[in-house]
Chain A
């Protein structure tokens, strides 16, 4: 039998293949790692996989939610273990192959040098990858998993256990009447809100930046400072102040500003459509300074030669704007602009703080201006519908990811590995 096969077979127990290849130190290291992996993680893996499969069998001993978390950690640890196992097998096989071909085996020193020379970027990013897995991937997996359980008020620890129910919760969203109708009306407004509010803030930001960047304009610094101010005040403060200003009977907007021009009081907070308008205007106000700043930066980097050449060719100001300024801005800021859309899709603060998702509309479990996130928030808090909230979150992420992916691809924003 070939040495590579023997080494590979022996390596089922980490280290033995290396011993067979007479690489004693390496073998010991692999064996040591292998044993300590099971010593350290044995309990976790045992409890974790059992918990993940059953979500507990006995109250009050078992807490389904903790078992679920433990199970997910066990999976992550197992993946690490398998990666290590793969390295072990591969090493044994490779060196066995070298023996078969009568080539010198790679020593530990060589391996180390190889690792430093070729794997340096991986070595450096390793720790942050590790943290990323527990800080980002684990919570995502957790809420993902919750969507497939029946975790709600009646299946909560410590008195009760939760169970896996597959796609039942998703099915419920589309079969239970009050949820289905609410889901689609909320989704509709969420999409409109995202498109209109984000487009407004982006357009306003670019427009202002181009305006302030005009050569002949004086006091540029003054204008820039003033225009950035909305960004300098914490968002929630602005929103709460606006909520006061927009008050139907006592707000300054109705009583002072609109009354001055002779317009009757507008039901900003009690009429659905007016609230929507107020929200969109506010988001324009809150969001444009960022785009304004980014665009200003881009504008300053457009070489004057381009405009000069255009002028010589007799291009009008609008032609210059359309063919030089706009493309330059869009190329440079496309990723930023896309993030504005994804941000607004989940812009909980403004919806919740301004009017609590209200005003109420008859026959709906969500308020007239609730977007998906704020509706999910209400559902979870008020009715302890954790699994439903998790399922909705997944649907919501699917939308955001799909839109973002599509836009990124269309604009080639991340071309050239940037």
Chain B
């Protein structure tokens, strides 16, 4: 019995090594030439649109279908999640041809090779605002077209403060908050424990996240979050928390919910938030107005991050040329206007800023005005390492656990360490 096992084992080994000979794919670059024929027959495109935003492009899509004799399927998906889904659906063959995503994800998507470079003419590019177009560029190449822009703006409760009374500077808001704030009533509130909001102040004093060269390329080795301006800004931020003008309850993970409910309950006169809150606040029955962010006491306007939502072509698209045409068509001036009428997403087309449809909208106006002072969220992958340490530092500043200078120095150290560890050598 023992002996037989030895024989059997030996022979299994022989057989296995025989079977393993000559492995691997026999041909390389499969399907690169076979694709042409398929392209002719199957003229179908899939578009991933943001959730509840499909109405904005339905007419445009129908028109494009007719003109180009294609069938287009629109699928709604939360835009922040599309790139994630593309990673699996793309190679699986069920992915989109055109998708939408946030401008600051493009750097990552390009490195992973998930989106295609698009060849759009100079005259197409020039209809968008510079900043919006800039967000679609990586190393000087264009990877998409802007669909909509977002920026944080000031919401104020008209029952508590009128448009005429609106303080023009943050310092005046500070005074206003001091006068009006009682235990459960607040003046001006913002989530300054998060870099997304706090950068508005810190950048106004000269702080920056990544240094930029003359062409606008970011330098991940130059982190400016602990420079003089950033520290000055953080010091300024801290006094709101120190003096109890910002309650501790709006700090941290659940802070945003608390902030928004304070505003809808009429317990806060003004808050900083994004255009995504127009509908919720309207539904909540708040009598509110919108404006650009106030000025700082050094005369600079508060900055903000512009978020650009874009249309991009999937690298897995089998009809890339057609998809590219669709991309240009969807993002053109006329369709941008229609989309704004349907979905209230502020278009990135420069000429539309003065279009009556857009100009009459308070939110679009506020976003457009604020955009002048806004900066792009850096779209390089190293930005992923910034959010958490920067938020942590600001949170410890807000809770008074750390001095701004120490906290920011430490944050930059962590950020640089993380960038070195995860992006180093690339």
Contacts and interface: CB of A to CB of B under 8 A. Distances in A.
Give the interface size bracket for B toward A: 35 or more
B421 A158 contact: no
Interface of A: 4-5, 8-9, 11-12, 38, 45-47, 49-50, 53-54, 58-61, 63, 66, 78, 82, 85-86, 89-90, 93, 152-154, 156-160, 172, 176-179, 243-244, 247-251, 267, 269-271, 355-356, 358-365, 367, 378, 382-385
Given A90-B4, A247-B249, A362-B401, A63 B254 contact: no
A63 B87 CA distance: 11
22 contacts: A46-B24, A61-B28, A61-B30, A82-B12, A86-B8, A153-B381, A156-B87, A159-B112, A159-B315, A160-B112, A178-B417, A248-B248, A249-B258, A250-B249, A250-B258, A267-B248, A359-B399, A362-B392, A362-B396, A363-B410, A365-B414, A367-B392
A246 B4 CA distance: 70
B251 A362 contact: no
Interface stretch (B13-21, B222-230, B322-330): B13-21
Interface string B356-393: 00000000000000000000000001001101110111
A360 B91 contact: no
Contacts of B247: 248-250
Contact of B108 (A50, A359, A384, A385): A384
B20 A176 contact: no
B113 A60 contact: yes
B90 A158 contact: yes
B402 interface: yes
A383 B418 contact: yes
Nearest to A179: B421
B422 interface: yes
Interface of chain B, helix or strand or loop or mixed? helix
B113 A159 contact: yes
A243 B252 CA distance: 11
B134 to A, nearest CB: 22
Of B252, B395, B418, which is in contact with the most chain A CB atoms at under 10 Å from its CB? B252
A362 B422 contact: no
A38 B28 CA distance: 23
B253 interface: yes
Given A50-B25, A248-B249, A63 B4 contact: no
B15 A85 contact: yes
Contacts of A47: 23-25
Contacts of B422: 152-153, 383, 385
Given A66-B91, A362-B396, A382-B387, A85 B12 contact: yes
A53 B24 CA distance: 10
For the complex of A and B, the 6 pairs showing the least CB-CB separation, nearest first, are A159-B113, A249-B249, A360-B392, A356-B253, A50-B24, A249-B247
Contacts of B30: 61
Contacts of A89: 7-8, 11-12
A341 B87 CA distance: 36
Contacts of A360: 391-393, 395-396
Contacts of A9: 11
B413 interface: yes
A157 B87 CA distance: 8
Contacts of A78: 16
Given A63-B91, A90-B8, A270 B252 contact: yes
Contact of B19 (A45, A154, A382): A45
Interface in B388-426: 388-389, 391-393, 395-396, 399, 401-402, 406-407, 410, 413-414, 417-418, 421-423, 426
Contacts of A60: 113, 315
Contacts of B113: 59-60, 156-160
A158 B114 contact: yes
Nearest to B401: A362
B124 interface: no
B29 interface: yes
Nearest to B109: A159
B119 interface: no
Of A159, A250, A384, which is in contact with the most chain B CB atoms at under 10 Å from its CB? A250
Contacts of B108: 153, 384
Contacts of A63: 91
Contacts of B4: 4, 8, 90, 93
A319 B87 CA distance: 63
A59 B32 CA distance: 12
Contacts of A159: 111-114, 315
Nearest to B253: A356
B316 interface: yes
A49 B20 contact: yes
Contacts of A364: 392, 414
B36 to A, nearest CB: 17
A326 B43 CA distance: 73
Contacts of B11: 8-9, 11-12, 89
A179 B413 CA distance: 13
B256 to A, nearest CB: 11
A365 B417 CA distance: 10
B252 A359 contact: yes
Interface in B244-262: 247-254, 258
Contacts of B407: 362
Given A49-B23, A267-B248, A355-B254, A378 B8 contact: no
Contacts of B381: 153
Contacts of B20: 49
B144 to A, nearest CB: 16
A172 B421 CA distance: 9
A277 to B, nearest CB: 16
A249 B315 contact: no
B12 A58 contact: no
Given A60-B315, A359-B395, A360-B392, 17 more contacts: A46-B22, A89-B12, A156-B112, A158-B91, A176-B417, A178-B418, A243-B254, A248-B247, A249-B249, A269-B251, A356-B252, A365-B388, A365-B418, A382-B384, A382-B385, A383-B384, A383-B385
A383 B419 CA distance: 10
Contacts of B252: 269-270, 355-356, 358-359
B183 to A, nearest CB: 9
A244 B254 contact: yes
A355 B15 CA distance: 57
Contacts of B384: 382-384
Given A178-B418, A361-B392, A363-B410, A157 B7 contact: no
Contacts of A38: 19
Nearest to A275: B252
B24 A355 contact: no
Of A38, A154, A179, A355, which is in contact with the most chain B CB atoms at under 10 Å from its CB? A154
A153 B385 CA distance: 13
A362 B253 contact: no
A54 B8 CA distance: 30
B10 to A, nearest CB: 10
A58 B30 CA distance: 11
A382 B415 CA distance: 13
Contact of A158 (B23, B315, B392, B399): B315
A152 B417 CA distance: 17
Contact of B253 (A59, A154, A358): A358
Nearest to B30: A61
B117 to A, nearest CB: 12
Nearest to B419: A383
Nearest to B395: A360
